[in-house]
A and B are shown apart, each in its own frame.
Chain A
């Protein structure tokens, strides 16, 4: 591919302006889903076409880009999106959360606190949190307009009646600044508290559904719950087997046919940084010996 044949960051300037307008509107009305004219991208729907368009509209040549998929920098999806922007925008890329000025993510928020100079772009499959119970778009829009959000609690009610607790563990609905109900994308509910009062700008792009929404820095984001079934962060009752972290979101990895398993940080950068700093988990080895 001849990357020079494309405009900076693939999209033409008019399209980027259109997307930026949607982003600005989203920032002005936190949690509100702004329709935008989503473009065909050179990747299938479901691979982050919404996030990629938002990223493209935000990127400037000075940016340093990080792309993660379920917390990892090295999965196919993360690697190809990163390469895509390396080629089409020529921006620098990084795996270090702290160094990145723009992070595109699928299904996670980095463990490390973000700063005010950073933008976090989420890939969103289904932006409408009410969709599962109310299939009519005209009706869900009306419900947002009039703040008729009883239905959202019906979903949580169903969870409790069926499982004895709110079993929704990802894409856990939130209320933004006491106004709009928002789907935080399929991040684990472990990450929900990090949505609130974040120093970074958080942008959400849904390519197939043609919606952009946003959380400006320091926005209040509350996870929905019942008085007698309050929202609770959940995680596997383990420490990271590589770096020993006790308070991170863990992936479960099956290690052999006998059912042995290990738990590792889903945020690969966070985990490896800890290991480089000398932390060692149950199954981990010191970094220096690995290199050797």
Chain B
């Protein structure tokens, strides 16, 4: 055990950020989507972004993931200037080293394609041309997200919401991405299904060493998943820090309001 500890001590603190965001801004006409956003995300780190609807958190996520072009600022991924990349390179990145988990699995899945085909698509898009191998990997991933292997040829339209969401995660993670964007991944799910998904995500984050940026309005979700928290209001980050510190000792008035508004169970 001590050997393992020693190893971790030597390799973690000096490593460079995976994602470096500086002064990012996105405007919709004269209206602010988000602005003055800067942060570093390190390998293996889970960053939660919270705030109420319209606070700019989804706009920020979309800008980071390359779904739209920000108006100001820079994004560096492993020293690559993301905003200067050719579209083909950016899209390649987004189906290899990056992944995006949508709130509604229908946005992230092909409902007319079998579960196996959904998981295999990313493999095929990076050049896998061996059916047997693709299928083996698809089965492996279905198992990892706790979907019975005998559902591999079923279409996701016959799956429950929780299963669809787990399938979307498998589809995204099959190419071993480094950075995963999640937009309210537990949003439409009932509480027991949410718990299962959270557990699954936590396990995957740890075993795969994923870096995650997760947008949610659910403070309980970030408390369990996120190492670090950014609180957004009116397009700006009003507070950031260690997740439990921000939630237990919020400094900004808005965060205090947010935390005190959560219903206690």
- Decide if B91 touches A148 in the complex (CB within 8 Å): yes
B124 near A228 with CB under 8 A, answer: no
Q: Tell yes or no: B223 within 8 A of A by CB.
A: no
Which residues of chain B are within 8 angstroms of A157 by Cβ–Cβ distance? 116-117, 120, 124, 131, 134
Which listed segment binds A: B9-17, B107-115, B210-218, B233-241? Answer: B107-115
Q: Which residue of A lies closest to B91 (CB)?
A: A146
B132 within 8 Å of A (CB atoms): yes
**Residues from 109 to 157 in B contacting A, C-beta threshold 8 Å:** 110, 112-114, 116-117, 120-126, 129-132, 134-135, 152-153
Q: Shortest CB–CB separation between residue B119 and chain A, in angstroms? A: 10
Contact B117 A161 (CB under 8 A): yes
What chain B residues lie within 8 Å of A228 (beta carbons)? 130-132
- Residues of B in contact, count (CB < 8 Å): 25
CA distance A157 to B95 in the complex (A): 19
Q: Does B87 contact A (CB under 8 A)?
A: yes
Asked if B88 lies at the interface with its beta carbon under 8 angstroms from chain A, I say yes
Partner of B120, one of A146, A154, A227: A154
> Is A151 among interface residues, defined by CB-CB distance under 8 A?
yes
Chain A: minimal CB distance from B172 (Å): 14
Residue on A nearest B89 in the bound complex, by CB: A146
Tell me, rounded to whole Å, the shortest Cβ–Cβ distance linking A230 to chain B: 10
User: Which residues of chain B come closer than 8 Å to A151, judged between CB atoms?
Assistant: 121, 124-125
Residue of A nearest to B132 (CB): A228
Q: Which residue of A148, A154, A225, A229 is within 8 Å of B113 (Cβ)?
A: A154
- A227 vs B132: C-alpha distance when bound (angstroms): 9
- State A150–B121 Cα separation when bound (angstroms): 6
User: Once the chains are docked, how many angstroms separate the CA of A229 from the CA of B130?
Assistant: 8
A158 within 8 A of B: yes
Closest to B120 in A: A157
The answer to whether A154 and B130 touch (CB under 8 A), given A133-B110, A161-B116, A162-B153, is no
Residues in B neighbouring A229, C-beta threshold 8 A: 131
Is B91 touching A150 in the complex (CB atoms < 8 A)?
A: no
In angstroms, Cα B88 to Cα A145, docked, is 9
Looking at chain B's contact residues, is the secondary structure mostly helix, strand, loop, or mixed? helix
Q: Is A235 an interface residue (CB 8 A)?
A: no
Q: Give the residues in chain B near A148, CB-CB below 8 Å.
A: 91, 125
> Of residues A133, A153, A162, which shows the largest number of chain B Cβ atoms within 10 Å of its Cβ?
A153
> Which B residues are in CB contact (< 8 Å) with A226?
129-131
Quick check: is A160 within 8 A (CB to CB) of the other chain?
A: yes
State how many angstroms separate the Cβ of A222 from the closest Cβ of chain B. 12
CB-defined contacts of A154 to chain B, threshold 8 Å: 110, 113, 117, 120-121, 124
Q: How far is the CA of A133 from the CA of B112 in the complex (A)?
A: 8
Q: Report yes or no: A153 in contact with B91, Cβ–Cβ below 8 A.
A: no
- Contact (A158, B114) CB under 8 Å given A146-B87, A148-B91: yes
Supposing A161-B135, A161-B153 touch, asked if A133 and B130 sit within 8 A by C-beta, the answer is no
Closest chain-B Cβ to A170's Cβ sits at a distance in Å of 20
- Cα–Cα, bound, A225→B128 (Å): 11
Q: Binary interface profile of A, 211-228, with partner B (CB < 8 Å = 1, else 0)? A: 000000000000001111
Q: How far is the CA of A153 from the CA of B95 in the complex (A)?
A: 16
- Cα(A151)–Cα(B128), bound, Å: 12
- Return chain A residues, CB-CB under 8 Å to B88: 145-146
Of B123, B129, B131, B152, the residue contacting A160 (CB under 8 A) is B131
Chain A neighbourhood of B132, CB < 8 A? 228
Of the A-B pairs whose beta carbons lie under 8 Å apart in the complex, a sample of 9, sorted by A's number, is A146-B88, A150-B122, A150-B125, A151-B124, A153-B124, A157-B116, A157-B131, A158-B117, A161-B117
B contacts, CB < 8 Å to A: 87-88, 91, 95, 110, 112-114, 116-117, 120-126, 129-132, 134-135, 152-153
Instruction: List 10 additional A-B contacts (Cβ < 8 Å) besides A150-B121, A157-B124, A227-B129.
Output: A150-B123, A150-B126, A153-B124, A153-B129, A157-B134, A161-B114, A162-B114, A226-B129, A228-B131, A229-B131
- Enumerate the 7 nearest inter-chain pairs by beta-carbon distance, A residue then B residue, closest first: A150-B125, A150-B124, A153-B124, A226-B131, A146-B88, A227-B130, A154-B117
